[in-house]
Amino acid sequence: MKEIAELNFPDDVGYSESHEWVKAGGETAKLGITDYAQDQLGDIVFVELPEVGDSFAKGEEFGTVESVKAVSELYMPVSGEVVAINEALEDAPELVNNTPYTEGWMDEVKLDEKSELDALMDKNAYISTLKG
Protein backbone atom coordinates (compact mmCIF):
# COMPACT_ATOMS: atom_id res chain seq x y z
CA MET A 1 0.00 0.00 0.00
CA LYS A 2 1.11 3.51 -0.77
CA GLU A 3 1.64 6.36 1.65
CA ILE A 4 -1.12 9.00 1.58
CA ALA A 5 1.32 11.49 0.02
CA GLU A 6 1.84 9.11 -2.93
CA LEU A 7 -1.89 8.95 -3.78
CA ASN A 8 -3.84 11.17 -6.17
CA PHE A 9 -6.58 13.46 -4.81
CA PRO A 10 -7.91 15.84 -7.49
CA ASP A 11 -9.15 19.27 -6.40
CA ASP A 12 -12.21 19.19 -8.69
CA VAL A 13 -14.10 16.36 -6.96
CA GLY A 14 -15.94 15.99 -3.65
CA TYR A 15 -15.16 13.12 -1.28
CA SER A 16 -17.39 11.01 0.98
CA GLU A 17 -16.48 9.37 4.29
CA SER A 18 -17.04 5.98 2.64
CA HIS A 19 -14.29 6.79 0.08
CA GLU A 20 -16.35 7.61 -2.99
CA TRP A 21 -15.69 10.69 -5.12
CA VAL A 22 -18.19 12.87 -6.98
CA LYS A 23 -17.52 15.21 -9.91
CA ALA A 24 -20.51 17.40 -10.67
CA GLY A 25 -21.28 18.71 -14.13
CA GLY A 26 -24.56 20.57 -14.46
CA GLU A 27 -27.55 18.39 -13.56
CA THR A 28 -25.47 15.20 -13.34
CA ALA A 29 -22.43 13.91 -11.49
CA LYS A 30 -19.98 11.11 -12.17
CA LEU A 31 -18.73 9.03 -9.27
CA GLY A 32 -16.35 6.27 -8.34
CA ILE A 33 -14.00 5.23 -5.56
CA THR A 34 -10.99 7.23 -4.46
CA ASP A 35 -7.36 6.43 -5.14
CA TYR A 36 -7.05 5.63 -1.42
CA ALA A 37 -9.92 3.12 -1.59
CA GLN A 38 -8.58 1.30 -4.64
CA ASP A 39 -5.11 1.20 -3.07
CA GLN A 40 -6.49 -0.35 0.12
CA LEU A 41 -8.48 -2.94 -1.84
CA GLY A 42 -5.61 -4.09 -4.03
CA ASP A 43 -6.12 -5.55 -7.50
CA ILE A 44 -9.77 -5.12 -8.47
CA VAL A 45 -11.15 -8.11 -10.36
CA PHE A 46 -14.89 -7.35 -10.61
CA VAL A 47 -17.21 -4.35 -10.28
CA GLU A 48 -20.98 -4.78 -9.81
CA LEU A 49 -22.86 -1.64 -10.85
CA PRO A 50 -26.55 -0.67 -10.82
CA GLU A 51 -28.79 -0.52 -13.86
CA VAL A 52 -29.45 2.70 -15.76
CA GLY A 53 -32.75 4.03 -14.40
CA ASP A 54 -32.16 2.83 -10.83
CA SER A 55 -32.58 5.54 -8.17
CA PHE A 56 -30.74 5.74 -4.88
CA ALA A 57 -30.89 7.87 -1.77
CA LYS A 58 -27.68 9.29 -0.37
CA GLY A 59 -25.95 6.57 1.66
CA GLU A 60 -27.67 3.63 -0.03
CA GLU A 61 -25.59 0.74 -1.35
CA PHE A 62 -25.41 0.90 -5.15
CA GLY A 63 -22.93 -1.85 -5.99
CA THR A 64 -19.82 -3.73 -4.97
CA VAL A 65 -16.15 -3.89 -5.83
CA GLU A 66 -14.38 -7.23 -5.61
CA SER A 67 -10.62 -7.37 -5.22
CA VAL A 68 -8.17 -10.17 -4.60
CA LYS A 69 -8.48 -9.24 -0.89
CA ALA A 70 -12.18 -8.61 -0.26
CA VAL A 71 -15.59 -7.56 -1.52
CA SER A 72 -16.54 -4.00 -0.56
CA GLU A 73 -19.89 -2.27 -0.83
CA LEU A 74 -20.26 1.00 -2.71
CA TYR A 75 -22.41 3.72 -1.12
CA MET A 76 -24.12 6.52 -2.99
CA PRO A 77 -22.53 9.81 -1.94
CA VAL A 78 -25.46 11.82 -3.37
CA SER A 79 -29.04 10.89 -4.20
CA GLY A 80 -30.13 10.53 -7.77
CA GLU A 81 -31.08 8.40 -10.74
CA VAL A 82 -28.42 6.46 -12.60
CA VAL A 83 -28.22 7.80 -16.16
CA ALA A 84 -25.03 5.99 -17.25
CA ILE A 85 -22.69 3.27 -16.07
CA ASN A 86 -19.10 2.67 -17.11
CA GLU A 87 -19.55 -0.47 -19.18
CA ALA A 88 -15.79 -0.65 -19.80
CA LEU A 89 -15.38 -1.90 -16.22
CA GLU A 90 -17.13 -5.16 -17.14
CA ASP A 91 -14.15 -6.24 -19.24
CA ALA A 92 -11.48 -4.10 -17.57
CA PRO A 93 -12.14 -3.66 -13.82
CA GLU A 94 -8.47 -2.79 -13.37
CA LEU A 95 -9.29 0.67 -14.76
CA VAL A 96 -10.44 1.48 -11.21
CA ASN A 97 -6.91 0.73 -9.96
CA ASN A 98 -5.12 2.48 -12.80
CA THR A 99 -7.23 5.61 -13.30
CA PRO A 100 -9.92 5.86 -10.58
CA TYR A 101 -10.92 9.46 -11.43
CA THR A 102 -11.02 9.19 -15.23
CA GLU A 103 -11.42 5.87 -17.08
CA GLY A 104 -12.26 4.13 -13.77
CA TRP A 105 -15.45 6.12 -13.03
CA MET A 106 -18.40 3.92 -12.08
CA ASP A 107 -21.68 5.63 -12.77
CA GLU A 108 -23.28 8.95 -13.55
CA VAL A 109 -26.39 10.15 -11.76
CA LYS A 110 -28.96 12.85 -12.35
CA LEU A 111 -28.81 14.72 -9.07
CA ASP A 112 -31.94 14.86 -6.89
CA GLU A 113 -30.54 17.51 -4.55
CA LYS A 114 -27.62 19.62 -5.75
CA SER A 115 -27.25 20.87 -2.17
CA GLU A 116 -25.95 17.40 -1.19
CA LEU A 117 -22.75 18.28 -3.04
CA ASP A 118 -22.04 20.86 -0.32
CA ALA A 119 -21.85 18.09 2.30
CA LEU A 120 -18.96 16.37 0.52
CA MET A 121 -15.41 16.94 1.72
CA ASP A 122 -12.84 18.83 -0.29
CA LYS A 123 -9.39 17.36 -0.93
CA ASN A 124 -7.80 18.74 2.26
CA ALA A 125 -10.64 17.63 4.54
CA TYR A 126 -10.59 14.14 3.02
CA ILE A 127 -6.83 13.80 3.44
CA SER A 128 -7.20 14.94 7.06
CA THR A 129 -9.71 12.15 7.74
CA LEU A 130 -7.35 9.60 6.21
CA LYS A 131 -4.55 10.74 8.49
CA GLY A 132 -6.84 10.35 11.50
The reported pLDDT for the residue numbered 77 is 98
The reported pLDDT for the residue numbered 55 is 98
The reported pLDDT for the residue numbered 130 is 97
What are the structural domains of the chain? 4-131 (2.40.50.100)
The reported pLDDT for the residue numbered 129 is 97
> Three-class SS string for the chain?
CCCHHHCCCCCCCEECCCCEEEEEECCEEEEEECHHHHHHHCCEEEEECCCCCCEECCCCEEEEEEECCCEEEEECCCCEEEEEECCHHHHCCCHHHHCCCCCCCCEEEEECCHHHHHHCECHHHHHHHHHC
For the whole model, what pTM was predicted? Answer: 0.96
- Per-residue pLDDT, averaged over 31-46, amounts to 98
The reported pLDDT for the residue numbered 84 is 98
In tens, the pLDDT along 83-93 reads 999 999 999 99
In tens, the pLDDT along 77-128 reads 999 999 999 999 999 999 999 999 999 999 999 999 999 999 999 999 999 9
